[in-house]
Amino acid sequence: MSFFPTAPKRPHPITQHGETRIDNYYWMRNREDPEVMRYLRAESDYLEEVMGHTKPLQDLLYAEMKGRIKETDSSLPEKRGGYIYYTRMEEGHQYPIYCRKKESPENSEEILLDQNLLAAGKSFCSVGALIVSPDGNKLAYSVDVEGTEVYTLYLKDLVNQVIYPEAIENTFSSVYFHTGVEWANDSETLFYITLDEAERPYRLFIHKIGTSTSQDTLIFQEDDEAFSIFIQKTRDEAFILTHHHSTRATETRFLFADQPAGELRVLSPRVDGVEYFPTHQEGYFYIVTNYLAKNFRLVKASVEHPELEHWQEIIPHREDVLLDYVDAFKNHVILYERKDALRQIRIIGANNAVHYVKFPEPTYNVDWESNSNYDTNIFRFRYSSLITPPSIIDYHMDSGEWQLVKQEEILSGYDISKYVSERIHATAADGKLVPISLVYKKDLNRDGNNPMLLYGYGAYGAAIDADFNSRRFSLLDRGFVFAIAHIRGGSDMGRAWYEDGKLFNKKNSFTDFIACAEHLIKEGFTSKEKLAIEGGSAGGLLVSACLTMRPDLFKAVIAKVAFVDVITTMSDPTIPLTTLEYDEWGNPEDFEYYKYMLSYSPYDNIRPVEYPHLLITTGLNDPRVAYWEPAKFAAKLREVKTDNNLLLLQTNFSSGHAGASGRYDNLKEVAIDYAFLIDRLCGLTTASVRDEEVLRPIELQNAESIIRQDLSVLQ
């Protein structure tokens, strides 16, 4: 085996507040420096070499995970206008095909967009916006082929099946919320958002179909660098809303969707520390707000007088319930709440009658579907748990009937009765009880000998719910326990839970996670020699900070696209997201924040001690956590650490923050992660699989030769 890669040390002094830090790897920020690519390539080659003995296992893991997927499948159809819309996946294809039919079933399929064709010849392809005009005749869609999250917006004539000549570059979109593009009700006017040099969404334009983009009208520019702008149409299609968002305050503006050239009115002017999120129903805005309510409350105001001074309280603040979000149908208001780290759905119907949707398991996840029909008594949502596959539910809001309309098929003979999910609690250093969601095989012995993967995030108020992941069963079937630590920094237990894990309280996230690890060891689920931890992005900061604080506690760590160079990044306002996040992490221009952030920044706290086995990942085009942060972290660890444990840096050279975009390519990345864990925690001699349990029967014959080869290597 060749020697591990080394990066040249080029001392770079950084002086702040009269103190000087020497950064030997600051030069990695310059991607034009040939040495940068040489180092990243060398690390990738090293990973291939030292993980070479796990290649048969990687192939087997890939076959298992792929074998659980119904490769040719279709989403539930959804009626919009005179069409039925749905998405198809085809066996062997990486990406979805977006389709529709006229309402009558006998009508032929119309393909709106085949993402596989867009991705042809490309290593990465993400579709952001995908929105049909109200008259059904035009499609707006945006594409990112580099992973930079900078999208080009295209327009398609669905009648003649041709692309309009205008293409709009540098636009914002979100693969999660589709909040960057909206149609006016005339089906001729399109609203879109562009990015500034730091890739902050800040300008809102109007475009008329068939005209030059040079004629587009700028209708708003967000000049406050702490704010981003997003756009959304209300469910009843009455208004276009612009959401102006910072980590400390929000503001919404609105205009009538029938009058795209009309006035963009402020719903209520922004006030530092005040957040509000509206929806519209029959002449009123229903608004979730933290004004005079740490955990948020529900108010309403008329469209004519929507300002804060006119807000009428509907549901008051509650100490034990976080009000997350409000949505509205014609005759029902839907509230998404969170209590005891679990999401709840509260429905307000006729005559203000209130009831909650009942969920059957102790730990679960629930997300809303698009629900494009405004005038309906059926609310569609997606339910899953650590052991229940994603299930689409049509919930009858008047009767409370729960109707299962589709459940994801998990092939290869998945049997829910073989697994257990539960919720337990660890006690943090200050006495707070931290929830932990767990899943494992029913025959598990709590003797401390079980390999475990503990996952966490803990930032931005994001709650991590216990959802289903079919890939995870390749670990569970090998005796692993999987756990989620619902630590502070998320809003799992309310707004105070978030605020107790940010700014000067950030270290609570790390000590909570450590307390969860220690509790799981104490309860016999695992041991220090069998415990691995994983987190990505801000979760990568979490596991990396815990790594530097307690390197003795873990056997292996996976830090994906990890935010590890906290001081340097937050001191550079030209880096995307920096100015937007001063209220999350602090501004190191302030000496007190500088000292506090420096005390936990993983890159700045590497010591000459023994560290666990490490797999660090990055994306070369990542706009959220620049590639140089994980790269520098790996290089400095190699320089300083005193152990001979494995340290791997994996760079995806054609993607960004989310890794590979294709579903099969993504499985291959997961297979590397899992092979690393199995190898480091179990050893390959114990890595053989229960073949019939994890491969679908129809694939067993095709896989036999691979399995025989794998088992000969593993044994």
Active site positions, annotated:
537, 622, 657
Tell whether the torsion through CA atoms of 214, 232, 148 and 117 is positive or negative: negative
Nearest by Cα to 482 from 417, 385, 574: 385
d(C-alpha 273, C-alpha 288), whole Å? 14
d(C-alpha 384, C-alpha 386), whole Å? 7
The pairing of strands 97-102 and 83-89 is antiparallel
Say if residues 89 and 97 touch (Cβ distance below 8 Å): yes
d(C-alpha 225, C-alpha 324), whole Å? 25
- H/E/C letters for each residue in 185-199? CCCCEEEEEEECCCC
Main-chain dihedrals φ then ψ at residue 83, nearest 5 degrees: -125, 160
Residues forming a β-bridge with 347: 334, 355
Say if residues 238 and 280 touch (Cβ distance below 8 Å): yes
In sequence order, the 6+-apart residues with CB closer than 8 A to the CB of 257 are: 184, 185, 233, 234, 237, 238, 239, 240
Main-chain dihedrals φ then ψ at residue 38, nearest 5 degrees: -60, -45
Nearest by Cα to 612 from 562, 546, 682, 560: 546
The pairing of strands 556-560 and 613-619 is parallel
Tokens of 436: 């932990």
Give buried/exposed letters for 7-41 (b at 16+ CB in 10 A, else e).
beeeeeeeeeeeeeeebbbbbbbeeeeeebeebbe
**Which one-letter amino acid corresponds to residue 79?**
K
Tokens of 601: 């920044």
Helix (H) or strand (E) holding 567: helix 566-570
Tokens of 423: 């919720």
What are the start-end ranges of the E strands in 90-132? 97-102, 110-114, 126-132
d(C-alpha 510, C-alpha 561), whole Å? 18
Say if residues 715 and 688 touch (Cβ distance below 8 Å): yes
d(C-alpha 526, C-alpha 518), whole Å? 9
Main-chain dihedrals φ then ψ at residue 559, nearest 5 degrees: -115, 105
Q: What is the DSSP-derived secondary structure letter of residue 216?
A: P
Within 10 Å of residue 698's Cβ, how many Cβ atoms?
A: 10
Tokens of 24: 């030997």
Tell whether the torsion through CA atoms of 43, 46, 52 and 53 is positive or negative: negative
Nearest by Cα to 267 from 297, 208, 316, 309: 309
Within 10 Å of residue 406's Cβ, how many Cβ atoms?
A: 15
d(C-alpha 217, C-alpha 213), whole Å? 9
Half-sphere exposure at residue 285, Cβ-oriented, CA atoms within 13 angstroms: 26
Say if residues 157 and 134 touch (Cβ distance below 8 Å): no
Helix (H) or strand (E) holding 57: helix 55-67
Helix (H) or strand (E) holding 239: strand 239-245
